[in-house]
Each structure stands twice: as structure tokens, then as C-alpha cells.
Amino acid sequence: MQYDLSALIKAFPFLLYGAIVTIRITALSIAIGLIIGFLTGLARVWPNVIFRTIAGAYIELIRGTPLLVQIFIVYFGLPALGMNLDPFIAGMIAMGINSGAYVGEIVRGGIESIAKGQMEAARSLGLTYWQAMRYIILPQAIVRILPALGNEFIALLKDSSLVSTIAIAELTRTGQIIITRTFKSFEIWSGVALFYFVMTYAISRIVKYSEKRLRYGE
Amino acid sequence: MSRWAIEVNSLNKFFDTHHVLKNIDLRVSFGEVVAIIGASGSGKSTFLRCLNGIETIHSGEIVIDGVKINDIKVNLNKVRQSIGMIFQSFNLFPHMTALNNITLALQKVKKMPKADSEKVAFQLLEKVGLEEKAKSYPSQLSGGQQQRVAIARALAMNPRVMMFDEPTSALDPETVNDVLDVMKELAHEGMTMIVVTHEMGFAREVADRVVYIDDGRVIEDGKPEEVFYNPKNPRLRDFLSKVINV
């Protein structure tokens, strides 16, 4: 048996198109995840116990259930409540909510890793809690959590293959469709893997680069 | 204007069931320099932290420059602007240059324009002898230099009172004097200062009053010569024999 490179070359434009859909849904989910995650992380260290509890429950619930099931709940479950969502929107929302929980824990860890004296010094100068968070704590925390955030983005990009199950023609789904027509499993799946690798490697480089840019005083 | 810079009436503080500060009374006039001495764990740092509201208190009253700070209606952020706080571990903001450490609160709290805040910062850096370090990050400065930047940062807010929590305890011996010199200068300029310290030489030379705290109580409070040369309390005598002329 031989590796049929021409099959892969023929499939290339379609896989590229699928990869673009993967990038789009992942990028949008990351954006949603970052917003939810930062709010959740801040709520987790918030002096008020009600916010802390709600954020804690959200994180436990999301981390304790599979992303695939969460995607099904949003796409197949919500229509029962009268909410019909486009597959792309449903996938994006499910992934964003899922990622928010993980980002929330990362953000909480980052904030808690900053020495207590930083908050005390900021408050003793008359800054409010929020000003201290914004100008003193978060800028330092973000530098520390970048590697962990990078891991989360990479995991999310790979997990985006799960939305192939709700008929979104992203990279994995595109591969499946091509194989049903060409039967070139090995060629196409290795091509799909290569596409994923290039994308995750790009994220990894971008995170490394930002880490270098954001480091201070060395 | 009130009569006292700082007035503390029967202050009590607990950590869980541990009674750390017991019925502390203290009055400090404007321009006075008060050194607080005592063994580690005696409650002296906790006391200082209560005075600017970092730690909450359980009973009693703290009045700073006429404002009762342990009152839920009081705006602590406002009060804290008039209290400069210096920490043992400096607590400079590591992601900002020395200059920006000083200008941040001027811009964000006092809403001062950037150019004006930098002018103030440069004046203060010059005062502490570090104008050439304006663009340096804390990690590029020695401990003594960091502590002097921290003093400049606190002074920028134009405080009525400066509090020092063991300002030289984390320093290399050769940089201690640079910091003490800046503090002496402040004292001579008439700044009201409370200094928790192990530097008995500084307490003896610069302080107007020395307060000895032991086990959460003020045991002795008097002029340095009385406290150091004629201690009445046996525990203070014991403490002094351990820290002086070893």
C-alpha cells in the first residue's frame, strides 16, 4: 500500500476551508471564554461570598461534565425551551462557556499568586480595590498566567473537533466528508492532523512571543 | 484641625481567639517621631497595620488627623491618602519603573496630569538621592534603593503621617544607613512619624518618644533616655539587654 499524496493535494483546498472554520469558531470561543473567565476569576477572589459561590458552582459544573454533552445541551436541548440556534452559534457558545470555567481557575490562580503586600501597598496609597486590581494585580497576574492560557487555547482548538458532531463543517468534519467519498483515510487524517498541528504550533509561538514582550525589568 | 495627629483609645484586636492587641492607648502630636519597639510577635506590626485600616479592629477607636477611621461611614481610601505606609518588604510594583511607582497614585487617585506627576516624582527621587534611577525597575535596584523609592512613593501623596513597619529589617547592612538618613531628614523636617523598628540606635537618636509593646500591651512609653537608660519594667530591661550592645 502506498501513501497517495495526490489525494491529499486534491483535498487541500477543502481542508484549508475547514481549518478556517476551526480558527473562526475557536477564536470566537476564546474571546467569550476570556471575558467569562476574567469575570469568574475576579468573582472567585471577590470579598463578597455570594459572587464567590456562584463562580465556584459554575466552574465545578462545567469542569465536571463533558464538553460534548455541553455542546449537545446547547444545540439539541435548548430548542426544547424554544431557542433554536444555528449550529455555529451553538458550538461557539458551548465552547466559550466551557473555556470560561478553565480560564476562570487560571485567572484566580494568577491573582492569588501575587504577594498580598502588593494589594496592601496599592490600598495604602489610596487606590480603590478596583484600581489596585486593574493597575497592580492584573498586569502582574496576566504575565504569570500566559503559559497556562496558551495551554487552554491549544486544548480548546483541538476540542473544537467535537462540534463536527453538530454538522459544522470545520476541519475534522471536512476530513470525514472527504473520506466518505475518496476512502483515503490515512492520507486525509494525516493531513487533518498536520493542519491541527500547524495551528496549535502557531498559538504556542504567539504565546511565547507575548511572554517575552510582557516581561519587565530584566 | 485636631489636636493629635494620631489618637488611639483602648484598641483591641483578635486573630480568632488570640488576643493580639490589648487595650492600647496612644497619642501622637504633629511633628512627633515615635519609635515602637518590642520582641517579634509582640503585636507592634499588627498595631501599625490597624492604624491605616489594613487590619480591622474589634473594639476601641482610632482617630487620625481628626478622622475616626474605624467607622463604616468613613471613606478609607480618602483617609489612607493622608497616611504614608512603608513596608518591611518595600512592596514596590515590580512591573513599573521607579518613576511610575510614584506617579501612579498621583494620576489615578489625585487625578494629577502626567507631566505634573512626573515633576513631583523627580523632585522626590532627588530628595531620596535616586533621580538617576527613575527609569529603573525595582528588580534592578538594591533593597536600600527600593525602600527609598517606596518612601518617595508614599511622600508623593503628601501625607500628614508616615508609618514605617520595620523599614530596614530586610536590608543588607550596608544599605541600612541610606534609608535611615532619609528618615532622619524627614524627622528634621517635622514629619509626624511612627516607626516600628529594631534599630535601637535610630530610636535613641531620632525618636522623640519610645513605646515598648510586649504581648499586645503598651508597657512603657517615654523619652528615649528614660526608656533606654532607666527602664522600669523588668521585661523591657531583659529585652534591651538582648538587643543593645550585643
| Interval B52-106: pLDDT, tens | 888 989 999 999 988 898 888 888 888 898 999 999 999 999 999 999 999 999 9
What is the per-residue pLDDT for B245? 60
The pLDDT of residue B1 is above 60: no
Residue A192 CB contacts under 8 Å (≥ 6 apart), including other chains: A15, A171, A172, A174, A175
Give the pLDDT band of residue B181 (cuts 50, 70, 90).
Answer: very high
- Residues A124 and B82: their CA atoms lie apart, in Å, by 9
- Residues B133 and B136: their CA atoms lie apart, in Å, by 5
The pLDDT of residue A51 is above 80: yes
Considering chain A, what is the average pLDDT of its residues? 94
Percentage above 90 pLDDT, chain A: 87
- H-helix or E-strand spanning residue B101: helix B98-108
- The reply to whether B85 touches chain A by the CB within 8 Å rule is yes
The pLDDT of residue A218 is above 70: no
Most B-contacting residue of A123, A124, A131 (CB-CB within 10 A), to test interface: A124
Give the pLDDT band of residue B244 (cuts 50, 70, 90).
Answer: confident
- Residues A148 and A33: their CA atoms lie apart, in Å, by 14
CATH says A5-216 is which class?
Answer: mainly alpha
Compute the nearest-CA separation of A3 from chain B (Å).
53
What is the per-residue pLDDT for B173? 87
The model's pLDDT over A118-151, given as tens digits with 9 standing for 90+, comes to 999 999 999 999 999 999 999 999 999 999 999 9
> Helices (H), strands (E): how many in chain A?
9, 0
In this structure, the number of other CB atoms found within 10 A of the CB of residue B129 comes to 14
Task: Evaluate if pTM is beyond 0.95.
Answer: no
What is the per-residue pLDDT for B246? 44
| Cβ atoms of B202 and B245 closer than 8 Å | no
Reading the block at residue B12, the C-alpha cell is 483591641
What is the per-residue pLDDT for A28? 97
Nearest by CB to B95, which of A125, A127, A140? A140
The pLDDT of residue B32 is above 60: yes
| Cβ atoms of B29 and B4 closer than 8 Å | yes
DSSP B43: S
- In chain B, DSSP assigns E strands to 4-15, 18-29, 33-37, 59-64, 67-68, 83-86, 161-165, 192-196, 209-214, 217-222
The model's pLDDT over B203-225, given as tens digits with 9 standing for 90+, comes to 998 899 999 999 999 999 999 99
Residue A129: closest C-alpha in chain B:
B77
Helix, strand, or coil (residue B186) = helix
Reading the block at residue B206, the C-alpha cell is 531620632
- The reply to whether A20 touches chain B by the CB within 8 Å rule is no
| Cβ atoms of A110 and A142 closer than 8 Å | yes
DSSP letter string, A135-189: IIIHHHHHHHHHHHHHHHHHHHHHHGGGGGGGT--SHHHHHHHHHHHH--HHHHH
The model's pLDDT over A154-194, given as tens digits with 9 standing for 90+, comes to 999 999 999 999 989 999 999 999 999 999 999 999 999 99
Verify whether the Cβ–Cβ distance B80 to A135 is below 8 Å.
Answer: no
User: Which residues lie across from B33 on neighbouring strands?
Assistant: B193
Q: Which residues of B touch A125 (CB under 8 A)?
A: 80-81, 104-105, 109, 153-154, 157
- CA B66, distance to chain mean position in Å, is 19
Percentage above 70 pLDDT, chain A: 98
More confident site: B173 or B117: B117
- Residues A59 and B154: their CA atoms lie apart, in Å, by 40
Q: Which residue reads 500547524 in cell numbers?
A: A198
The pLDDT of residue B119 is above 90: yes
